[in-house]
Structure 1
Amino acid sequence: MPLLLTAFQYRFDRDVDAMARHLIDGVTLGWYTLGTDLLDGAPPSLVTELTGGTQFSSTPLDGFLITTDGSPPTRNTITPQSAVEQDFEWGYVLRPDGIEVISVRIQAGWGPLVPWDTDPRTRFSDHPAHWAFEKPLPVIAPAHPVRPAKPAPGTASRRNTTRR
């Protein structure tokens, strides 16, 4: 969650469509790892606080997957049933007003909507009783002027795609 919030606030300049294009449309299959390159543009002190100084690159699944019949791998649609079968714990839906958290472990499934302006250093919990997020530190102002998030022109399918 901190990586996605920071990426939205700094690398993607609060543009949810640009973030969705990169994270969802910009890869053939999906991601093996989301890396610290998503923190580009964030203040160095915030990056260090979130990562402890460790740097690693995002890695798409392309080239990692091999099908048993030799056919090219295809992107799959995550459903509540397939998420359980594939041992996913979390999914995220990029919404115009925040990240909707989906938990396979929580019986209700749908969790909170975390607003985009949430401080990435916020302590997050997977327990529903803790979903009133406490901001331990003030939100850091971006180094460049912030334009308001773009309004959604309608429901785009990529905003309703969940990723682990």
Structure 2
Amino acid sequence: MQTFVLAGGCFWCLDAVYRTLRGVSDVVSGYTGGSTVNPSYDDVCTGQTGHAEAVAVTFDPEVIPANVILDVFFSLHDPRQLNRQGHDVGTQYRSAMFYSDEEQKTAFETARDRAGEYWDGGLVTTIEPLGTRYEAESYHQDFFAKNPGQGYCMAVAVPKVNKIRKSFAEYVLAS
């Protein structure tokens, strides 16, 4: 099993998308990349903690290759937007990849380079060492499944889930 920690806007969307993929055994929403110890969601929303909303995606590379996990990441958000995704604005919504070792760092750099060929314009996705990761509050875990009719989920998460289901159909869980 491998775990990648990725940030690309609101963690609800990343969580919703990765939970649809075969080989993904766990997705945990949390905060990382900042200086505040044990931040709350309210703390992170101020933009003063330095933390990003991120997901830890644990997957079996024998079922879904690491490069697919990373290509999904670059497909489900716009890595050209600095410190925002759509209407979500602030450093907590930055596009970032947090590596735990040199092998991950290299894989992340390769994926970012590959994504740069797809996206028109400069990518702002940072590749940062993984420091302490704090688990988000329980109501953020698997948020989309618990709140499918919530406005943000309907307007933002559903289109992203549908896009990934279409683009990466061979890796999507059977319904």
In the superposition, the TM-score normalised over structure 1's length comes to: 0.29
Structure 1 or 2: more helix by fraction? 2
Q: Which has the higher contact order (CA 8 A, sep 6+)?
A: 2
Structure 1 or 2: more strand by fraction? 2
